[in-house]
Amino acid sequence: MVVSSQSMKRQLKKLLVANRGEIALRIIRSARLFGLRTVAVFSEVDAMSAHVAAADEAILIGPAEPANSYLDISKIIAAARQSGADAIHPGYGFLSERAEFARAAAEAGIVFVGPRPEVMAALGDKVAARRIAAEAGVPVVPGIETGEVSAAREFAERADYPILVKAAAGGGGRGMRVVGESAQLESALEAASHEAAAAFGDGRIFIEKYLARPRHIEVQILGDEDGGVVALGERECSIQRRHQKIVEESPAPGLSASMRTKMIDAALSLARAANYTNAGTVEFLVEGDNFYFLEVNARLQVEHPVTEMRFGIDLVCEQLRIASGGHVPKSLAPRGASIECRINAEDPEHDFRPATGSVLHLSVPSGPCVRFDSHLAVGAEVTPWYDGLIGKLICFGADREEARRRMVNALDEFALLGVTNNAAYLRDVVASEQFRDAKLSTHFVEEFFAGWHPADADITAALIAAAMTADGAFGEDRQAAGAPRPGAVNRSPWESLKNFELWGSRR
């Protein structure tokens, strides 16, 4: 089918993208392809970032602080009104799973690219979602729907420690605590509730039996207004740090055809039970031959490209078609295998501590079956204000091993200077025996890559490079040296280290 806003039940004209970074850029591209004008919103610190330049219009909505910009529903609705946008795409994170945002858009007569508000509300509440899943006959993890201390203790004794304390409004591992023994229980409940309240303005928590060594496998679904529902295969997302995915792939290695069918059927019946529309993801925990409903992400996922690569489909265009009243595609045949690595501004040598800075040098892999979704470019700033995801590297292959080797090579071609990042860490993960042999569980990182450090050979190469750099082989960071414009002269302590003449080939 031709991607186009033409000949749709509702012909959209202008889309406001209520997000930033790589996903805003990626949505703008597909919206343009779909024939829509695009409106970017941005905070003061993002004025010069890529999504602002990419859109047809851009509106400043506030200061860096998310609460007063990207999380401010009224400002975003106002921006949509001001620009005459007839649709809003929330991306992921920020307001993407806030039912009240979808509701506010609807009240303003603006199409929200996502499920209906009431569906978002129901699925966004993990406790309610558990109920819907159970009623739809989807297996759920044993647990109780309260964080009340005595009930929690009673459940924990019965189900046996460790147990998992989760925020009803949670997401991204926030407000989540594993409790190994009763001594920790009360403080864990308190801490989780506190973090949940701070993060989501909703301190409700609930409790589930903690699965020892599960895999995280999710199913991509699409639903349309006329009840059409389709599943686009699964994604394996077991490799996580701090409860956040860093490597995802499709298909899930070694998943039996029967398991896959069962999980896809479960996802579809859940989608039907919830009257789900637009794109969503049903997440499961898998242990042995059992799978349990984890949650529904009622939005586009960060890792959606691994599905796009296998199915040859543009999920954002599908979202826009559905939002225009169009139908889900007839179920498509996937092909090959794909893997995504999330390049984060963080320090893998120090518990993935967030990093910031401005990009001084960037080398991006390319070529056949390699895709890099990013808003980065030399000169771009990574600020402390927002999520540390700065790029997604996706590789396709005829099979998993081909995709894996392509990813190793692609990461070897990647270089980013100025912002500490996890590229070398991801490279070692994907190149490892354990990943090659798909020894996958949500504990993969702790089991195999705890205390990771770069190889000594790499450090030696870096030291030689450092000596050459000190000697002026590659020039100064003019900004850092305090020379905003070309033409200024630097003073540098390194000059004093030079022990011989400049050489010609130096640039």
Partner 1 sequence: MKLKRAGDPREFDVELISRDGAVVRVRVGREEIAAEFAPSATGGGTLTINGRRYPIFGVRRKDSILVAAGPASFEFKLAETSLRRRARGLVAPEIIAPMPGKVLRVLVKDGDLVESGQPLVVIEAMKMETTLAAESAAVVKRVRVEAGQMVDHGAVLIELSPAPASSAAVSALRVS
| CB of residue 398 to a second copy, shortest distance in Å | 6
Task: Count CA atoms within 13 Å of residue 284 on its CB side.
Answer: 28
Active site residue 299: yes
User: Which residues, numbered 239-298, are part of the site for partner 1 (CB under 8 A)?
Assistant: 242
C-alpha to C-alpha distance for 500 and 507, rounded to whole angstroms? 16
Closest by CA position to 294, among listed 208, 364, 235: 208
Q: Which of 109, 201, 484, 493 binds a second copy (CB under 8 A)?
A: 484
Rank residues 47 and 332 by Cβ distance to partner 1 and give the closer one: 47
Which one of partner 1, a second copy, none is in contact with 406 (Cβ closer than 5 to 8 A by kind)?
a second copy
466 binds partner 1 (CB under 8 A): yes
Rank residues 272 and 478 by Cβ distance to a second copy and give the closer one: 478
| CB of residue 423 to a second copy, shortest distance in Å | 17
| CB of residue 2 to a second copy, shortest distance in Å | 5
Measured N-to-C along each axis, helices 126-135 and 117-124 cross at an angle, to the nearest 10 degrees, of: 100
DSSP readout, 149-165? HHHHHHHHHHH-S-EEE
Q: Which of 421, 435, 442, 445 binds partner 1 (CB under 8 A)?
A: 421
| CB of residue 312 to partner 1, shortest distance in Å | 26
Whether 345 and 359 have beta carbons less than 8 Å apart is answered as no
| CB of residue 47 to partner 1, shortest distance in Å | 7
Whether the CA torsion 138, 141, 147, 152 is positive or negative: it is positive
Closest by CA position to 391, among listed 413, 403, 399, 404: 413
* Amino acid letter, 466: A
Q: Which residue in this structure is represented by tokens 């200077």?
A: 417
Which one of partner 1, a second copy, none is in contact with 106 (Cβ closer than 5 to 8 A by kind)?
none
User: Which residues, numbered 324-353, are part of the site for a second copy (CB under 8 A)?
Assistant: 335-336
Q: Which helix (H) or strand (E) holds 112?
A: strand 111-112
Q: Which of 19, 49, 83, 374 binds partner 1 (CB under 8 A)?
A: 49
Distance of CA 365 to the CA centre of its chain: 20
Rank residues 398 and 462 by Cβ distance to partner 1 and give the closer one: 462
Which one of partner 1, a second copy, none is in contact with 9 (Cβ closer than 5 to 8 A by kind)?
none
1 binds a second copy (CB under 8 A): yes
Q: Which helix (H) or strand (E) holds 26?
A: helix 21-33
User: Secondary structure of 274-332 in the HEC alphabet?
Assistant: CCCCEEEEEEEEEECCEEEEEEEECCCCCCHHHHHHHHCCCHHHHHHHHHCCCCCCCCC
Which one of a second copy, partner 1, none is in contact with 127 (Cβ closer than 5 to 8 A by kind)?
none
29 binds a second copy (CB under 8 A): yes
Rank residues 109 and 451 by Cβ distance to partner 1 and give the closer one: 451
313 binds a second copy (CB under 8 A): yes
Please choose, out of 5-13, 23-31, 53-61, 207-215, the segment that lies near partner 1 by the rule CB under 8 A: 53-61
- Count the site residues for partner 1 by CB under 8 A: 87
C-alpha to C-alpha distance for 502 and 252, rounded to whole angstroms? 54
Whether 97 and 171 have beta carbons less than 8 Å apart is answered as yes
Burial class (CB in 10 A: 0-12, 13-18, 19+), 258: exposed
Q: Which helix (H) or strand (E) holds 344?
A: strand 337-344
| CB of residue 119 to partner 1, shortest distance in Å | 25
Rank residues 213 and 506 by Cβ distance to a second copy and give the closer one: 506
Other Cβ atoms closer than 10 A to 304 = 28
Which one of partner 1, a second copy, none is in contact with 485 (Cβ closer than 5 to 8 A by kind)?
a second copy
Q: Which of 35, 162, 172, 228 binds partner 1 (CB under 8 A)?
A: 172
Task: Count CA atoms within 13 Å of residue 259 on its CB side.
Answer: 18
Q: Which residues contact 380 (CB under 8 A, 6 or more apart)?
A: 48, 49, 50, 358, 359
User: Which residues, numbered 434-473, are part of the site for a second copy (CB under 8 A)?
Assistant: 472
Please choose, out of 100-108, 158-166, 216-224, 416-424, the segment that lies near partner 1 by the rule CB under 8 A: 416-424
469 binds partner 1 (CB under 8 A): yes
| CB of residue 367 to a second copy, shortest distance in Å | 5
Q: List the catalytic residue out of 215, 235, 299, 400.
A: 299
Starting at the earlier edge strand, list the strands of the sheet with 57-62: 57-62, 37-43, 14-17, 87-89, 111-112
Radius of gyration of the chain (CA): 24
Please choose, out of 134-142, 152-160, 257-265, 341-349, the segment that lies near partner 1 by the rule CB under 8 A: 341-349
Q: Which of 130, 177, 371, 427 binds a second copy (CB under 8 A)?
A: 371
User: Which residues, numbered 355-394, are part of the site for partner 1 (CB under 8 A)?
Assistant: 355-356, 358, 360-361, 363, 377-381, 383-388
| CB of residue 172 to a second copy, shortest distance in Å | 24
C-alpha to C-alpha distance for 100 and 122, rounded to whole angstroms? 12
Burial class (CB in 10 A: 0-12, 13-18, 19+), 159: middle
43 binds a second copy (CB under 8 A): no
- Binding residues (CB under 8 A) for a second copy: these are 1-4, 25-26, 29-30, 32-33, 54, 305, 308, 312-314, 316, 335-336, 363-364, 366-374, 377, 379, 396-399, 401-402, 405-406, 409, 413, 472, 475-476, 478, 484-490, 502, 506-507
Catalytic residues, by residue number, are: 299
